[in-house]
Amino acid sequence: MDDAVTRRRIENQQTANHVIQIPVAYLTCNFSAPVTINQQSRPALFTHNEVIVLFHEFGHGLHHLLTQVEDLGVSGINGVEWDAVELPSQFMENFCWEWDVLTGMTQHIDTGEPLPRTLFDKMLKAKNFQSGLQMLRQIEFALFDMYVHFDFKPNGVKTVLQLLNDIRRDVAVIIPPDFNRFPNSFAHIFAGGYAAGYYSYKWAEVLSADAYSMFEETASDGVVNAATGSHFLEEILAVGGSRSALESFIAFRGREPELDALLRHNGMETA
């Protein structure tokens, strides 16, 4: 997703009137294309991962398009803190793991049957397989990123690798071999724009999972609830960067973020 035009208020100096510039966003949908087999055209068949990507990027689009802020610098996705701008996008991904949602948007190419429940259950198990190790991996990377930016002394007695090894001894379950030189290839924090911000990957997941859990709590059937959706629109999507993301989250959820929903969505609720 990217923005082409941002919502803003444009004043007419001659008439003292104004107009609101309508926002425009676009998605790059380079998904699986239709194919021809034995001279017969077959429609595009999206993988589940492609559907997740579509929902994710659409979440960014909603964030940009539904803003009610009229100041360019904080309208839509502009001005939203780095560690919260992924909240609407990761929030939308959750719908791709809802049985009621998938049964309404899946269909066998030949029989027309929706996704079988047994296959859906296997998909959930595969998603959550070793999710604890994956989470620890992200925490290890995030802690290393933070410490190398605020506590590392280039001319000190400890090398970058030794700093990482200290962190691994605290949080890692599986320790890489001695020849491992992960810091040399950690491109995210040197060329990827995530310097001192790699933690935002996991923190945005905390925010999105906790926000989504309000839909789980308030919907009488499934996760669709119009009142909660309107509340999400008003307090998260519409306000852009006009206030801090934490203020917006509290205004929506009624409290500060909690970890429970993220652990539950990763199959770790009993941990």
Distance between CA atoms of 220 and 172, rounded to whole angstroms? 40
* Annotated catalytic residue within 11, 50, 57, 113: 57
Q: Are 266 and 135 within 8 A, CB to CB?
A: yes
Q: Which residue has the tokens 């205004």?
A: 251
What single-letter amino acid sits at 15? T
Helix (H, G, I), strand (E, B) or coil at 139: helix
For residues 111-130, one letter each, b for 16 or more C-beta atoms within 10 angstroms of the residue's C-beta and e for the rest, the string is eeeebeeeebeeeeeeeeee
Name the percent of the chain in helix, strand, coil, to the closest 5.
Answer: 50, 10, 40
Distance between CA atoms of 66 and 235, rounded to whole angstroms? 11
Distance between CA atoms of 240 and 66, rounded to whole angstroms? 9
Q: Is 247 one of the catalytic residues?
A: no
Distance of CA 123 to the CA centre of its chain: 19
Which residues form the catalytic set?
A: 57
